[in-house]
Chain A
């Protein structure tokens, strides 16, 4: 019931946003709806409530409307709600606001749907439904390169989804049902898991994106409007993490395990690769893009390793990255508003005129590079420690990222804020502070008490056949 409400709420909000009479309030509606989603989702893990719903849908095709919320999905939905709320709140002064916020709420609904769907068909519906509002938001409200970037993003991810569809259809034909829990309860023989696992993982790898399937990422991050880029990186990418856990590991544990050596190698390389490229970027958004690539690959690494510790790490790291990247994008936008450019070379020495901006940015960067006390460390450590148990070489390779991350992270701070004051601008106003401060506070809270997250990621997340520690 509540699971359905998590999707219905933003849908209603979308309708309200589109209503001409409420035009003035559309931003508030979108933000409040997103926040409400977060609150409701988090409430489900605190208070035991009936969350599931099961309605016949396209029975002939094997698909039903089955939704539920468990600990992992609740965490992701909560994260999504926070990120979406911040993104909506940050979307001040957009043209065509009714359309913008209606699409925004549709995106929220689709993302929530991905997290609550317990039927592969329904899952695919939401999975693809995310694309449309995203694409329109990018196309219509994006920056200079928006057309090419949108098309590239869309077609690339759709190519991945195409294979996912083949996978879903194959499962429907072979098993006669798409009920995820039922399928997980009786997995197919280990020898027959690799192929479907690869079909499913193709889509997830593109969405994540796993190195080297990230060709869409830098351009999309640069071209998308900041709130959309924030949502794209902060939560939409996490749908892939969730999907790998829920579907990849849930339905095809052996298949994923068979592919894991290659996947883990790619993810480990990607972790370093993204960080190395981030050191070269001048455009802040590209820097954040490649840093995200690095983080997301680290998360992917942890998921593919599939130990309890690493999976917990992946969830924490997802939460952390979502919060941090949201903060980073917002701060980048605030910086750009002061220097009228996202180029680091146009900034410099902002610290003296905007100390709070500097402090916030420094804190965000510190979290991004995983200093203990921030959520970044909790996620990174659990991910790597868990991965090491199964794939030591990959874990060691990926651990090198702590060095490279420091290079680009502190490089960012140094180039933008330190040094002689080349650029000046007013410090953050209270609205801007109010936007970023909650994110940073959450980063610290999760860093100090990661059990808020990990307590809800139980042993059942680890496929039984892979053994658990």
Chain B
């Protein structure tokens, strides 16, 4: 192991090591539950900082793990969102009586899996990353014992996830059979039918993780049942990891141009199906969490629009993912502020009167989710659409904008529910979670008005 290797895996080490530290410390010390979540958040922040400080450099372990601009960027995003989710958890674990140390450790493990998936240099590491990302999530999903059917959705998630990872693994095997290599770079030579079949299976496996329709069926249930901070975490980190891997694989597949067209066509079709079905499904939801779940599936569709545009759109994808992360953490964060973990829209009545600041923040977040200016959500959509138009996907863009109108309908329902008169669920007092929500909303506005730095930063996302 060289210093280069260490540099490449430093953020990973911080995350996985942090998980171990939390577990061990929990055995040794008796501390307030909240401490563990806070400690985990600190490790996540440390991972992000590590990635930021070390920056891109030479790959580690013979290119098994990449240390390019993309890895660094996604490490920062994953670290920051994990930290945000764990901060949400600080005020959440105690009333929910969750085993804080284990939850924190699992979250950090999963985050390291996401990072592994995002920076994998070969398919085996990607597969391990996928599993490391998923397995803690299966457990986290079922953790909220009293919640509606937590065990049911945990089981569903697990069974579907197991089948999907089998598909992904089979894809790797087919690639290996057709190219005698599992390096991601070798996908370019997988031009025989067997190799192409492998690529198709890789795509299916990642589409599952990214929750693209029709691979999305686990997502609404899992999102609703999981403890809300975990929902926020999995909605962000799983997608970041999956899309990073999709980009990486896509870059290799489209590099020689042989299969580039197929890759883009497949993703364009997946994007179209996802956009239409997810937005339609979100329309009639009465549960806020479920609505947001479908909304996050729909957002995967928007990202996928850019993925379909090819590697040139990596900046757009990165930008969208960052914005999406802030929006999602913020929106689910609002739920952690309510005393009911699965509020209906009616439960939001009167919230504007009782917690005006929260509603303003939620309003900003919803505007961002709907892609309305002056939020960063708008710029993210513009960026994605520009990439897609540049790739001659005008039809997809038109579909996407029309679907964003449909999405506005359900986001506004949420906003208007908050504005409605009535006695909904009582909200908890000010908390760290509230701070996270407000911060997310603030970030969305600030980036919407001063997008320059972030736009410059995503230019560094190169593979």
What is A's interface to B at a CB cutoff of 8 Å?
Answer: 56-63, 121, 124-126, 128-129, 131-132, 135-136, 139-140, 147, 150-151, 154-155, 158-159, 162-163, 165-166, 168-170, 172-173
Contact = CB atoms under 8 A, between A and B. Distances in A.
A172 to B, nearest CB: 5
B412 A58 contact: no
A435 to B, nearest CB: 28
A128 to B, nearest CB: 5
Contacts of A165: 381-382, 385, 401
B277 interface: no
Contacts of A147: 416
Q: Across the A-B interface, give the 8 residue pairs with the lowest CB-CB distance, nearest first.
A: A162-B401, A125-B373, A60-B455, A169-B385, A173-B389, A158-B405, A58-B451, A173-B390
Given A59-B452, A61-B383, A166 B397 contact: yes
A57 B452 contact: yes
Contact of B373 (A124, A151, A159, A170): A124
Given A158-B408, A163-B401, A59 B389 contact: no
A42 to B, nearest CB: 27
B378 interface: yes
B374 interface: yes
A58 B452 CA distance: 6
Contacts of A58: 379, 382, 451-452, 455
A169 B405 contact: no
Given A166-B385, A173-B389, A139 B378 contact: no
A151 B412 contact: yes
Interface residues of B, number: 32
Contact of B378 (A62, A125, A154, A155): A125
A206 to B, nearest CB: 11
Interface string B374-418: 100011011101100110001001100110110011001001100
B419 A136 contact: yes
B401 A61 contact: no
B367 interface: yes
A155 B408 contact: yes
B394 A170 contact: yes
Contacts of A126: 373
Contact of B419 (A140, A155, A158): A140
Contacts of B402: 159, 162
B315 interface: yes
B459 interface: yes
Contacts of B397: 166, 169
A348 B398 CA distance: 51
A151 B419 contact: no
Given A60-B456, A166-B401, A172-B386, 17 more contacts: A56-B452, A60-B383, A60-B455, A61-B382, A61-B383, A121-B382, A124-B373, A129-B372, A129-B374, A132-B367, A140-B419, A158-B405, A159-B405, A165-B401, A166-B389, A168-B382, A172-B382
A395 B52 CA distance: 66
A155 B409 CA distance: 7
B400 to A, nearest CB: 9
Contacts of B394: 166, 170
Contacts of B381: 165
Contacts of A166: 385, 389, 394, 397-398, 401
B386 A173 contact: yes
A129 B375 CA distance: 10
Interface string B241-252: 000000000000
A interface: dominant SS: helix
A61 B455 contact: yes
Nearest to B413: A151
Contacts of A60: 315, 383, 455-456, 459
A129 B419 CA distance: 19
A436 to B, nearest CB: 31
A159 B315 CA distance: 27
Contact of B409 (A125, A131, A132, A151): A151
Nearest to B456: A60
A154 B452 contact: no
A62 B367 contact: no
Nearest to B449: A57
Contacts of B378: 125, 128
A61 B398 CA distance: 18
A158 B378 CA distance: 13
Contacts of B390: 173
25 contacts: A57-B451, A59-B452, A59-B455, A61-B451, A125-B374, A125-B378, A129-B373, A129-B374, A131-B372, A132-B367, A139-B416, A139-B419, A147-B416, A158-B405, A158-B408, A162-B404, A162-B405, A163-B398, A166-B394, A166-B397, A166-B398, A166-B401, A170-B394, A172-B386, A173-B389
A170 B402 CA distance: 16
Contacts of A59: 452, 455
A166 B395 CA distance: 10
Contacts of B372: 128-129, 131-132
Contacts of A131: 372
B395 to A, nearest CB: 10
Interface in B127-145: none
Contacts of A125: 373-374, 378
A169 B373 CA distance: 14
Contacts of B383: 60-61
Contacts of A124: 373
- Determine which residue in A57, A59, A124, A158 has the highest number of CB atoms from chain B within 10 A of its CB, and name it: A158
Contacts of A155: 405, 408-409
Which one of A135, A159, A162, A170 has the highest number of Cβ atoms from chain B below 10 Å of its Cβ? A162
